[in-house]
Chain A
């Protein structure tokens, strides 16, 4: 099976080269037979990548330890689900997964043939990426490499990867990463054929949004995994690898907004091409960070020569794509008229400035240890305090913009328009600030941030209310029918608002958990209680159980509030048979208000246990917000009547 897997990779590599040459030559010579044959090769590459992936999955599931990859990442007692997820637990396997997704995407794009004149170039550009991955897999890091002997047992999977979050996080992240290759390829193809109208944007809109949605999910699953698995009470450590998936998410978000301005006003063409190129390059750069080991990260795959390959490939793509943009700058003719500073168009520009600004700040902070080392001789660390300090004010501006954007009209907003639209959200936000202050929120930063969140919520919700009222007035429908039809018939717009609402919830969760978290750690005897805020945490006893080859030590802890039993928690320490370091399995009692997060930090021979207890307010809203964002994306993408309705110019005004 390993031989079959490896041979399919080598054949796929040869076929991908043929597909690239065939597509480009066939297009140039207008040889339809050659084009058809090359497109067949694209499909074959996808089939070969699928076969190679299935071969590795088979080897993983059947625990064939003669294969180095299987030996390194699995063991016989590993649950079946994790044997599947071992496909992306290591360097070679995760690259194979990336290749698999990329080749399938390429085949779909090639055969859907949306813009005839561009398809060959799009397909060739995507296949160049596939060829690069195949080159790496076939000749640098072969997932089917055999050992000289067959060990009786595998080394086992890293315990921290044995979590549902690690099953879903890498897959969704890769689906997002790879997805951005499609709009990038279309943008480059549009430049090559010198056809820079907004057709490529319309065609790739769904690809871009899907890629963005998967990257959102990837980041969300990653945060959830960190929260429950790393056992420190946090969810985002601004680790280089975390940043590597956050930065393209930011530039991708900026792109999704700025393309709207191009669609409506024929502006920002150059910016949009640059932005999607940058987003794609950042996905490659992120991969370089993860694979090179150049920066210290808890998530990295470790040092390997792969980083150099990715760096070179990223450099080549950077030079070629920006050379192409510069060379074709004249064909990127765009409108040059803006009616007013106070318009929705301007707010989109501000949105881009902030999003790209946060992306730059995060990128700069991520690579700063390298810069600092060059200029000072010592490598400084850039971690949570830096990123929180730099990005928090920018994030706050972003929230305010979320609130302002829906309230400003396209083209030009009059003073009357501003007064009418902003009055209620501003008064509401001020009342909220006063009430929050009166209720005891004294931290100015948190108060400002929560007020901004409230302002953004009211302004976004007011769009639903206003639209519903207008529809009720015109059609006489009841409020629920009017709201339903309003949203369904303007899915793109209201999907966007749902995403904004999700983001607002998520940010509320971030503010709550950062500004108001409480922590305590105590060593207690059996039967002794710890009082944390309103919670009485009683340590009952310590016990041990066997789970497969692992030993689990756990504490039985009862949680009471005013004498009322809220639940029994079992924070654990798991000792793995295959790994020297034990891992903490935290116990969480969650509600919409806050999470009670209990860690078994240690124990004594006499049965006393050390419990670390955290109260993380509003945490649930972070996860709910994330899923609302995904729901909003799906709502906006759902096909059928109303899916493509967006704002458009009409004579003498703007219709939405």
Chain B
């Protein structure tokens, strides 16, 4: 069996593969906006505490290369994020995923603000009511001072005389 064509074919394919892998990734156009979005959602894993897009150290460069490589391969944001999560765990994500206990991270601030808002509402409502009651009291005491009761008093006296 003549293996020459097969060897040539294999050599060409291997060379092409080498060329492809050796080509700088910048040569392949990728969605820069999506790359930034992904880098903004990941944290550099050398304990520097910076998000990937902000970090320039070696770990960040390594992670960035993986992002670019996978974007070149046509992977989606979810796939790339999932890959990093499978390697480093949830700490690689720049925000806790809204599932399980981590939901509390997302809802607690809003619950607290709504609770605070309700408290403010009830307190102000009470204060407004106090002001209204105070105003009514003042009006009542003012009207009490101005009403002429003499007519009623005379009637009351007359009625009482009937029974005495």
| A361 contacts B117, C-beta separation under 8 Å | no
Whether A380 lies near B50 (C-beta < 8 A) is no
0/1 string, B44-64, CB within 8 A of A gives 1: 000111110111110000000
Q: CB distance B112 to A384 under 8 Å?
A: no
Q: Which residues in A have their C-beta under 8 angstroms from that of B117?
A: 353
Chain A binding surface, main DSSP class: mixed
- B17 contacts A by Cβ under 8 Å: no
What's the A-B contact tally at a CB cutoff of 8 Å? 136
A524 closest partner in B (C-beta): B26
Given A239-B49, A381-B43, A357-B113 contact (CB < 8 Å): yes
List B contacts of A378 (CB < 8 A): 89-91
Q: Which residues of B contact A191 (CB under 8 A)?
A: none
When the two chains form their complex, are residues B40 and A385 in contact, meaning their CB atoms are under 8 A apart? yes
- Within the complex, what minimum Cβ distance (angstroms) separates B113 from chain A? 4
Q: Are B24 and A523 in contact (CB under 8 A)?
A: yes
The residue in chain B whose Cβ has the minimal distance to the Cβ of A356 is B116
Stretch of A131-139, A228-236, A458-466, A553-561 on the interface side? A228-236
CB of A380 within 8 A of CB of B26, answer no
The reply to whether A394 and B108 contact each other, CB–CB distance below 8 Å, is no
Beta-carbon contact of B94 and A338 below 8 Å: no
A355-393 residues with Cβ-Cβ distance < 8 A to B are 356-357, 360-361, 364-365, 368, 371-372, 375-376, 378-386, 389-390
Interface size on A, residues (CB 8 A): 55
For residue B130, which residues in chain A have a CB less than 8 angstroms away from its CB? Answer: 336-338
CB-CB under 8 A from B110, the residues of chain A are 390
Contact A380 B54 (CB under 8 A): no
A610 to B32 alpha-carbon distance, docked (Å): 14
Q: Bound complex: CA of A368 vs CA of B102, how far in Å?
A: 9
User: Per-residue 0/1 for B103-123: is the Cβ within 8 Å of any A Cβ (1 yes, 0 no)?
Assistant: 011101110110011001000
Give A298 to B92 CA distance when docked, in angstroms: 16
The reply on B96 being an interface residue by CB < 8 A is: yes
| Max count, chain A CB within 10 A of own CB: residue among B95, B117, B128, B134 | B95
Known: A350-B120, A353-B116. A368 touches B56 (CB 8 A): no
Are B47 and A357 in contact, with the CB atoms below 8 A? no
A120 at the interface (CB under 8 A from B): no
Give the secondary structure class of B's interface. helix
Measured between beta carbons, the chain B residues less than 8 angstroms from A54 are none
Distance in angstroms between the alpha carbons of A389 and B95 in the assembled complex: 10
Contacts of A297 in B (CB 8 A): 49
> Which chain B residue lies CB-closest to A345?
B124
CB < 8 Å neighbour of A381 from B57, B92, B109: B92
CB within 8 Å of B: which A512-534 residues: 519-523
B71 close to chain A: CB less than 8 A: no
A113 close to B (CB within 8 Å) = no
Does A649 sit within 8 A of B, measured CB to CB?
A: no
Smallest CB gap from A375: residue in B: B101
Write the nearest CB–CB distance from B83 to chain A, whole angstroms: 17
Task: Identify the interface centre among A230, A350, A380: most chain B CB within 10 Å of its CB.
Answer: A380
Take A336-B126, A336-B127, A385-B94 as given contacts and tell me if A584 and B56 are in contact as well, using a CB distance cutoff of 8 Å.
yes
User: Which 8 interchain pairs have the tightest Cβ spacing?
Assistant: A361-B109, A232-B54, A338-B127, A296-B49, A386-B95, A380-B96, A357-B113, A337-B131
Q: A298-B50, A371-B104 are in contact. List 7 more A-B contacts (CB 8 A).
A: A295-B49, A296-B48, A337-B130, A376-B101, A376-B102, A380-B105, A523-B24
Residues of A within 8 A of B (CB): 230-232, 234, 237, 239-240, 267, 295-298, 336-341, 346, 349-350, 353-354, 356-357, 360-361, 364-365, 368, 371-372, 375-376, 378-386, 389-390, 394, 519-523, 581, 584, 601, 610
Some 16 contacts from A to B, beta carbons below 8 A apart, are A232-B55, A295-B49, A336-B126, A337-B131, A341-B128, A353-B113, A356-B116, A357-B116, A360-B113, A361-B109, A365-B109, A376-B101, A379-B91, A381-B93, A383-B94, A386-B106
